[in-house]
Structure 1
Amino acid sequence: MEFPCDDNRISIVDLPEDCLLAIFRKLESDTDRNSFGLTCHRWLQIQNFGRQSLQFYCSLTIPNLSPLSQVVPNINSFHLYRLLSRFQQLSSLSLSGCTELPDSGLNPLQYFGSNLQSLYLDCCFGITDNGLSLVATGCPSLTSISLYRCSITDVGLEILVKACKALKDVNLSYCSLISDIGIRALSRECHEIQAVKISFCRNIFGIGFKGCSQALTFLEADSCKLDPEGILGVVSGGGLEYLNVSALSSCIRGDGLAAIGAGFAMRLRILNLRMCRSVSDESVVAIAKGCPALHEWNLALCHEVKLSGWEAVGFNCHNLEILHVNRCRNLCDRGFQALRDGCNRLSVLYMHRCCCVTVTAIELFKYIRGNVKIKEEELMYIGPKWPFFR
């Protein structure tokens, strides 16, 4: 048997770059991935080319450290330029927590942002419309952007969405200068938009969503000022599966939420109306009849829901599995009985401090519906974690 000569032997360093890149991407340990580039210059280049995400360890992103022990790095255009020129295949970049980052700090994105798909600028207080213009110029492939607490306006948002038409996920929570004008631009330009977060945006009333794409399946609008016409606009696309309008402002009274059950939200699976204190029986009846796919419904602290509302939930919500009724003042024994006798798929009932429901009614419910878990803890958040943001 003949053995090959030493000169004919092939080592791992002789592998082509695509093979080395495949090996690098298979490494699961951070230590191994970080050590990969220490082998030689060629392997360092492979490591740089193979890196797909970059996150700065700023105050917003360091777990298990007290604020006093964290030092927020002063990220500027020079730092970002060096990093982006090194890692030119990034698909995800997080600058969240870089509170001092100015608009000019985003200049390098014009040269190295073409592959970026996800950009996180949470709590970048220095980023304004000018910064968004730089993002729009350099990152045409963006599908996800988070602008939580940024100082942007409708002008900047419109510039962004006209350039980044592939956007699917947008977080505008606490962007207090955004109004329905910006939302209308987003709906009009980004036909693939799937998820929007506008919590605590008090200048958005909802009409900007009118005629939105059926692709819109997820909307977070906690503590907003949506009005009845805006609610109709929100559901007009017909694709919503998750809707959070908890702590809705006083713009909505009586049957103002009935539009949710007007026939556009047939796919709605998770609905959060927590602390919508003025929501009426009329709205609850309309939603119970018009949203047959409901899987989870939060009606905690909805004090104006009375007997006819609870009876509608029990009689119509055949797919409901999780229901929140914490501190509902007008949930009485008869309403509780309607929930017991209906909602055949109910498996979890969050119930606490319902003063009009007697102990006898509760024990009877447990006896007849032993498969339903009655839990007292009140959850502020319902449904799965937002799949489109970290």
Structure 2
Amino acid sequence: CGSCGYPLNLTSSNRIATSIGSEYRKSVEKGLISFLSVDLSRFTQVDEVHCFPVSWGRHRSKTKLLCRKCGVHIGYGYGDAPALCGFDSPDSSSAAFRKFTIKIRALQPSDETDRESFGLTCHRWLNIQNLNRRSLQFPCSFGIVGHSSLSQSCPDINSFHLYRILARFQHLEYLSLSGCVEILDSALSYLKPYGSKLQTLCLDCCFKISDYGISLVGDGCPFLSTISLYRCSITDTGLEALANACLALRHVNLAYCPCISDSGLRALSQGCRELQAVKISNCRGVSGVGLRGCSSTLVYIDAECCNLEPEGIMSIVSGGGLKFLNIAGLSCSNFRNGLEAIGNGFAARLKILNLRMCRSVTDASIVAIAKGCPQLQEWNLALCHEVRVLGWASIGSNCHNLKKLHVNRCRNLCHQGLQAVRDGCKELSVLYMSRNSRISDTALELFKLYRCNVEIKAEEVMSIGPNWDSIDYDEST
């Protein structure tokens, strides 16, 4: 198996040789090899039945062949099987496969004898495939990390596996090793000879990768633009090495990296002047001041549940280009008016703001943001208990482009506040509200009557905004 190395016991002697010639060449060009027989004990079989009668009472059957170890699709077995469509076959017997079609790209030679034959058959085709492949993700990789994905059993991808992969696919631009918890720093040394074209590298939950491994990434991938280090045990030293080597970095995910601080962020923001998106959520050692003087290309910051300070908020918006800001769950107690810095002119281009669970934010901050961020299109104020009539009235008076507003469980949202939003936010299309104890059914029905074009949703949304790695800086917007 080309994915996991499991022996499939395919031999050249069982290949169908009757079609050697133009038909055989066409088959190889399509990336397929036909066999008379295979060792079915090496495969998991999944039947696919198509009810197109070949003769009365029979149909064509196709069985998908999967690697018994890793489940990768290897090919198909073809044969005639008894009918399952209401027709009885008088001479039906056990379904015998007439032909097996195997995908070349799903294989790798198992020994020197087969290697020679395998190479003669499809060496040119494999070279083309190797040169054309631009992305690779291991079976244990995952996109969105959760408890379920962390509990899944993953194959032990080690240094040898990574070496073979990189040596074979030397033009990779995207590589995900997320979830490969056995990968060591030394494995990343192979990026220098083989990974120079990498632009995106995902190392989420690679718990054994340290600062030394990150320095190897910097040495081997000078054109890297996106890196995800979710839950990695790196420190400011690793960030500094990365920032010094990968000047073209645009998207960086440092969520749940407990050992980084403002010092590492400062090296990143000052060294990578094309930075566009940074995730530092749940990094408790970050106050935000490390982003002071960041580039205007920085349009996305996710700093949920960080120990931000008022000075850190000023630093975060200092670049002037911010469009998405998530500072939900502020854990610092001195933020009653500390968010006014967002509305002081540097965040005038802000379009999406998440203040969910910022329980101590007062009307003064809300008024400043509403006046200073005229382009706001979505604002999450769920569980912001200290926002009162003055704050809601300011939103209605100033947020003329607001399309989505989240007010779930806001204790001090009353009839007057809801009316101010109703009468002022003319572009509002979705209002998320639930468990607002001071809003009566009558007030809600009046809102629906006057603003029938606004959809009211009872759901409480935890995460808003675009994907961090799909953000692109656009100076015109």
Return the match for 2:461 from 369, 379, 383: 379
Aligned partner of 1:7 in structure 2 is: none
Give the match's secondary structure for 1:186: helix
Aligned partner of 1:236 in structure 2 is: 318
Return the match for 2:244 from 134, 157, 162: 162
Structure with greater proportional strand content: 2
Which letter does structure 1 place at the counterpart of 2:420? A
Return the match for 1:341 from 397, 403, 423: 423
Aligned partner of 2:442 in structure 1 is: 360
Q: 1:136 to 1:70 in 2, by over 3 A?
A: same
Aligned partner of 1:388 in structure 2 is: 470
- Partner deviation per Cα, 1:336-382 (whole Å, 9 max, x = no partner): 11011100100000010111111111111100111001110111111
- What TM-score do you get using the length of structure 1 for normalisation? 0.89
Aligned partner of 2:158 in structure 1 is: 76
Which letter does structure 1 place at the counterpart of 2:203? L
Return the match for 1:50 from 108, 111, 132: 132
**Aligned residues of 1:59 and 1:71 also touching (Cα < 8 A):** no
Aligned partner of 2:342 in structure 1 is: 260
**Aligned residues of 1:247 and 1:273 also touching (Cα < 8 A):** yes
- Matching of residue 287 in structure 1 with residue 336 in structure 2: no
- Partner deviation per Cα, 1:4-42 (whole Å, 9 max, x = no partner): xxxxxx99979xxxxx9xx99xxxxx9899546886210
Give the match's secondary structure for 1:257: helix
Cα distance in 2 for partners of 1:164, 1:108 equals: 17
- Partner deviation per Cα, 1:90-137 (whole Å, 9 max, x = no partner): 001111001121111212112111100000000000000010111111
CA RMSD of aligned residues (A): 2.6
**Aligned residues of 2:176 and 2:201 also touching (Cα < 8 A):** yes
Shift of residue 252 of structure 1? 4.1
Q: 1:64 to 1:104 in 2, by over 3 A?
A: closer
Shift of residue 58 of structure 1? 1.3
The correspondence of residues 190-205 of structure 1 with structure 2, limited to 5 A, is: 190-205=272-287
Aligned partner of 1:222 in structure 2 is: 304
Q: Unaligned regions of 5+ residues in structure 2, if any?
A: 1-21, 32-72, 76-101, 108-120, 472-477
**Aligned residues of 2:308 and 2:332 also touching (Cα < 8 A):** no
**Aligned residues of 1:93 and 1:118 also touching (Cα < 8 A):** yes
Q: Unaligned regions of 5+ residues in structure 1, if any?
A: 1-9, 15-19, 25-29
Cα distance in 2 for partners of 1:277, 1:332 equals: 17
- Matching of residue 179 in structure 1 with residue 273 in structure 2: no
Return the match for 2:193 from 99, 111, 121: 111
Give the match's secondary structure for 1:312: helix
Q: Percent identity?
A: 60
Which letter does structure 2 place at the counterpart of 1:294? L
Cα distance in 2 for partners of 1:68, 1:207 equals: 33
**Aligned residues of 1:77 and 1:107 also touching (Cα < 8 A):** no
Q: 1:75 to 1:235 in 2, by over 3 A?
A: same
Give the match's secondary structure for 1:114: coil
Aligned partner of 2:293 in structure 1 is: 211
- Matching of residue 100 in structure 1 with residue 182 in structure 2: yes
Which letter does structure 2 place at the counterpart of 1:322? K
Return the match for 1:321 from 376, 380, 403: 403
Q: 1:209 to 1:111 in 2, by over 3 A?
A: same
Which letter does structure 2 place at the counterpart of 1:311? A
Aligned partner of 2:68 in structure 1 is: none
Give the match's secondary structure for 1:158: helix
**Aligned residues of 2:252 and 2:278 also touching (Cα < 8 A):** yes
- Partner deviation per Cα, 1:167-200 (whole Å, 9 max, x = no partner): 0000000000100000000110001000000000
**Aligned residues of 1:288 and 1:316 also touching (Cα < 8 A):** yes
Cα distance in 2 for partners of 1:169, 1:12 equals: 46
Q: 1:141 to 1:335 in 2, by over 3 A?
A: same
- What TM-score do you get using the length of structure 2 for normalisation? 0.73
Rg larger in structure: 2
Give the match's secondary structure for 1:239: coil
* Residue range with higher mean Cα deviation, 376-385 or 153-162: 376-385
Q: 1:68 to 1:380 in 2, by over 3 A?
A: closer
* Residue range with higher mean Cα deviation, 30-39 or 44-53: 30-39
Q: 1:47 to 1:100 in 2, by over 3 A?
A: same
- Matching of residue 132 in structure 1 with residue 207 in structure 2: no
* Residue range with higher mean Cα deviation, 252-261 or 165-174: 252-261
- Partner deviation per Cα, 1:38-97 (whole Å, 9 max, x = no partner): 862101110011111111111646999977994322222211111101000000111100
Q: 1:288 to 1:12 in 2, by over 3 A?
A: farther
Give the match's secondary structure for 2:396: helix
Give the match's secondary structure for 2:338: coil
Give the match's secondary structure for 2:126: helix
Q: 1:13 to 1:88 in 2, by over 3 A?
A: farther
**Aligned residues of 2:402 and 2:427 also touching (Cα < 8 A):** yes
Give the match's secondary structure for 1:355: coil
Cα distance in 1 for partners of 2:346, 2:151 equals: 50
